[in-house]
Chain A
Amino acid sequence: DIVMTQSPDSLAVSLGERATISCKSTQSVLYNSNNMDYLAWYQQKPGQPPKLLIYWASTRQSGVPDRFSGSGSGTDFTLTISSLQAEDVAIYYCQQYYSSPFTFGPGTKVDIK
């Protein structure tokens, strides 16, 4: 199985400041035949299911604000919230869909400082 790790476990950022979350996989999730990274990011607020934010490592899902961006390739990825808003308080998960079983990172909790 591909193991996903995230850092930090939690972070507190002032409103309007940048939040950066790291995600690493134990093996590459880059599929060479199409040069795509099979990596997604989700946002989960209390009592709600996760919401897909980013897929293919850097493609925003429809309706997701452009302050959310994803980057990275291979085994190292980053989710950036460029200007944190109050409604961004949540837990963020990365997920690989390169190979089954599809696995998630342990999550990073984002709060307001």
Chain B
Amino acid sequence: QVQLQQSGPGLVKPSETLSLTCAVSGGSITNDYWNWIRQPPGKGLEWLGFFYYSGSNRYNPSLQSRITMSVDSARNQFSLRLSSVTAADAAVYYCARSSGGWHKFDFWGQGTLVTVSS
């Protein structure tokens, strides 16, 4: 059973970089696709992108210029960095797995509420 444990600060200042990490247990980071999805409070879900170990990342074009996803295979974890944040980036951020090249999300992290405020 794959489990995803998220970590990272819940408060980011405007114009700074949001950084979150998702540790994977029960599975290998070198398999499958590792996604980030966010949900502004009281709103719907937005897929941000995925990291694939082969290097074939794919990002949502709406965030393309600000987003980076990476992996630490030694720690079996992957990360999200979102630069130049604004209030519009305040949301619960989730990491999630998709597999087989079919991007339905079967395992999710617990979520991290990120507030953007000075």
Q: State the CA gap A93–B102 with chains docked (Å).
A: 17
Q: Which residue of A lies closest to B6 (CB)?
A: A49
A22-45 vs B: 1/0 string, CB under 8 Å? Answer: 000000000000000010101000
Q: Which of B11-19, B70-78, B79-87, B107-115 contacts A (4 or more CB under 8 A)?
A: B107-115
Contact flag A49-B46 (CB < 8 Å), given A38-B102, A40-B104, A100-B58:
no
Docked pose: A97 CA to B38 CA in angstroms: 16
Pair A52/B105 contact, Cβ less than 8 Å: yes
Q: A49-B111, A50-B108, A61-B106 are in contact. Are A104 and B62 (CB under 8 A)?
A: no
Chain A nearest Cβ from B37, distance in angstroms: 8
User: Which residues of the partner chain B approach A69 to less than 8 Å between Cβ atoms?
Assistant: none
A95 to B94, CA, bound (A): 16
Interface SS of chain A = loop
Let me know if A102 and B44 touch, CB within 8 A.
Answer: no
Inter-chain CA distance A61–B113, complex, in Å, is 27
Contact with A along B25-56 (1 / 0, CB 8 A): 00000000000000000001111000000000
- Tell whether, in the assembled complex, residue A52 and residue B104 are in contact, meaning their CB atoms are under 8 Å apart: yes
Question: Is the CB of B66 closer than 8 A to any CB of chain A?
Answer: no
Bound-state Cα–Cα, A42 to B104, Å = 10
Asked if B106 contacts A103 (CB within 8 A), the reply is no
Closest B residue to A51 by beta carbon equals B108
Interface residue SS majority, chain B = strand
Give the residue among A95, A101, A103 with the most B Cβ atoms within 10 A.
Answer: A101
Q: List, in ascending order, chain A residues with CB within 8 A of B111's CB.
A: 49
- Count contacts on A: residues with CB < 8 A to the other chain: 20
Assuming the contacts A49-B111, A93-B45, asked whether A101 and B102 have C-beta atoms less than 8 A apart, the reply is no
B60 within 8 A of A: yes
- Do the beta carbons of B104 and A101 come within 8 Å of each other? no
Asked if B44 and A106 make an inter-chain contact with CB atoms under 8 angstroms apart, the answer reads yes
| Shortest CB distance A5–B (Å) | 11
Chain A residues with a Cβ under 8 A of chain B: 38, 40, 42, 49-52, 55, 61, 93, 95, 97, 100-107
